Chains A and B, each alone.
Chain A
């Protein structure tokens, strides 16, 4: 059985120098459509290096979420290849998908938390699936909650948390397993502008520790406050803006 094996995780005993040279993500001619004759992605080509922070943007329906869903195999490509850590995600067998997802932290617009669980339980679940001992889980969940500014709130049910706090719990769950890649799918969509900046700052802190972050958003203000690489999805194609839209000469041509 082919299982997804992480080769680039920090501290991994089987660290591969050769693998470390390869891009963490590679999209080659990726096609995806939900309806006949109306493709969402038409030949997307994209390279994301290890340790990058990349914004993915575009108007509603441009395929931002689809691009991310293809990455963690909630969807499958119609054609093309998506290489994550050198492995073709599209060709993984069903029983290998969980092992792929253990290497990817995902943050959603609607948080995807279990409201009846405590913050600790919501974060711990990412480690429980790995079969780690409870003592280690408690320690690492405590650290993750502290990193996102929720130290001491572990026992509170997330149902009583504010939107910003819930998103912090969601980020803690995404980072607690120390994944190689964080996918954030409109993580600030339900938050007010100040909270949105806070969440962006939090993900930037995660990125500073060496984690690759792909941040999908249609919020132009976020793209303007940070001069980071932007991938714009338009009519199913990816337009790469390496220096960010605030300074880029192509700014006026971008469909935002």
Chain B
């Protein structure tokens, strides 16, 4: 708990040297924006990954020679499988039309693709809570059927996305190290400068019997406040940018990936502020430790 005297000295120090502190907070905010951006990307990628993992879709592609009887038998068999919520047959023609609506408008070369290029399929909707193992079992059994050409469960996409998320997490960890170095350098330099400017004050404090802790505490608190303010500034800046970008984002893109873009969860935002505060305090302590000694 901070004493009233320490709080007053912190306030006095920050007010009298507000330019120095503002510059430091700005520098820290820039560093935290990098970290925050990476975390924002990871958060949204993770959202897409979650959505796709639990999308519960599979496409059973049929061989060209599959008859209507084969299709009916397959549909009947699938209807009886636990976890399957819906089964929908998509003929080559329907697939051609669906693809054309989405992709071929304005592209004549693609419009010339023959209808045979689009295999007929049975689209299956699986309950999100269906275990991966059950889905894998069902896929393995269906692959044995003579009329089935292949099955797409979209797992390869989610795996790619998971790799992307892992890459994003690694990049965020790296950026966290960069932020750590930035906080140590910026707060350390600011505090050393502040200490030099308040040399007379420190000398007087020591002469009247202040302990090392009494001399150092306000600097440590100032460093901590700088770190926390820098992180808060970065979050605010990211929030404004996020709102601007989301407003311009094509809603069809959101519909395509299946999720709306989301901002940093509040826990992550709080963790960034706490990280800023702790790092700022540690950096200040490390930089004034020797200089403020008796």
Interface, chain A (partner B; CB < 8 A): 72, 94-95, 97-102, 106, 112-117, 122, 125-126, 128-131, 134, 173, 177
**Residues in A whose Cβ lies below 8 Å from that of B204:** 112-114, 122, 125
Q: Kindly provide the distance from the CB of B89 to the nearest chain A CB, expressed in whole angstroms.
A: 82
Contact B208 A114 (CB under 8 A): no
Tell me which of A97, A115, A125 has the highest count of chain B C-beta atoms within 10 A of its own C-beta.
Answer: A125
Taking CB atoms and an 8 Å cut-off, the chain B residues in 167-225 that contact chain A are 200-201, 203-212, 214
**How far is it, in angstroms, between the C-alpha of A124 and the C-alpha of B3 when the chains are bound?**
15
Q: List 11 A-B contacts (CB under 8 A).
A: A94-B293, A94-B294, A95-B212, A98-B209, A100-B209, A113-B200, A113-B204, A114-B200, A114-B204, A122-B204, A125-B205
Partner of A125 from B3, B16, B208, B293 at Cβ < 8 Å:
B208
**Residues in A whose Cβ lies below 8 Å from that of B200:** 112-115
Q: Kindly provide the distance from the CB of A59 to the nearest chain B CB, expressed in whole angstroms.
A: 26
Contact B207 A97 (CB under 8 A): no
**How far is it, in angstroms, between the C-alpha of A115 and the C-alpha of B16 when the chains are bound?**
13
Q: What does the 1/0 interface line of B1-28 toward A look like (CB < 8 Å)? A: 0011100000000001000000000000
**How far is it, in angstroms, between the C-alpha of A173 and the C-alpha of B208 when the chains are bound?**
9
**How far is it, in angstroms, between the C-alpha of A117 and the C-alpha of B4 when the chains are bound?**
17
**How far is it, in angstroms, between the C-alpha of A173 and the C-alpha of B200 when the chains are bound?**
15
Contact A129 B205 (CB under 8 A): yes
Q: Kindly provide the distance from the CB of A139 to the nearest chain B CB, expressed in whole angstroms.
A: 16
Partner of B3 from A98, A126, A131, A173 at Cβ < 8 Å:
A131
**How far is it, in angstroms, between the C-alpha of A106 and the C-alpha of B207 when the chains are bound?**
8
**How far is it, in angstroms, between the C-alpha of A72 and the C-alpha of B205 when the chains are bound?**
14
**How far is it, in angstroms, between the C-alpha of A112 and the C-alpha of B205 when the chains are bound?**
10
Partner of A116 from B16, B203, B206 at Cβ < 8 Å:
B16
Q: Kindly provide the distance from the CB of B180 to the nearest chain A CB, expressed in whole angstroms.
A: 31
Q: Kindly provide the distance from the CB of B258 to the nearest chain A CB, expressed in whole angstroms.
A: 60
**Residues in A whose Cβ lies below 8 Å from that of B211:** 95, 98, 129
Determine the residue in chain B with the shortest Cβ distance to A176. B208
**Residues in A whose Cβ lies below 8 Å from that of B207:** 72, 101, 106, 112
**How far is it, in angstroms, between the C-alpha of A89 and the C-alpha of B289 when the chains are bound?**
24
Contact A129 B214 (CB under 8 A): yes
Determine the residue in chain B with the shortest Cβ distance to A174. B208
**Residues in A whose Cβ lies below 8 Å from that of B212:** 95
A128 in contact with B209 given A94-B294, A114-B204 (CB within 8 Å): no
Q: What does the 1/0 interface line of B269-294 toward A look like (CB < 8 Å)? A: 00000000000000000000000011
Known: A98-B206, A106-B207. 8 other contacts (CB 8 A): A95-B211, A95-B212, A112-B200, A112-B207, A117-B201, A125-B204, A128-B5, A134-B5
**How far is it, in angstroms, between the C-alpha of A122 and the C-alpha of B212 when the chains are bound?**
19
Contact B205 A97 (CB under 8 A): no
Partner of B209 from A113, A129, A134 at Cβ < 8 Å:
A129
**How far is it, in angstroms, between the C-alpha of A112 and the C-alpha of B207 when the chains are bound?**
9
**Residues in A whose Cβ lies below 8 Å from that of B206:** 98, 101
A99 in contact with B201 given A129-B214, A131-B3 (CB within 8 Å): no
Contact A126 B16 (CB under 8 A): no
**Residues in A whose Cβ lies below 8 Å from that of B205:** 125, 129
**How far is it, in angstroms, between the C-alpha of A209 and the C-alpha of B203 when the chains are bound?**
28
**Residues in A whose Cβ lies below 8 Å from that of B208:** 101-102, 125-126, 129, 173, 177
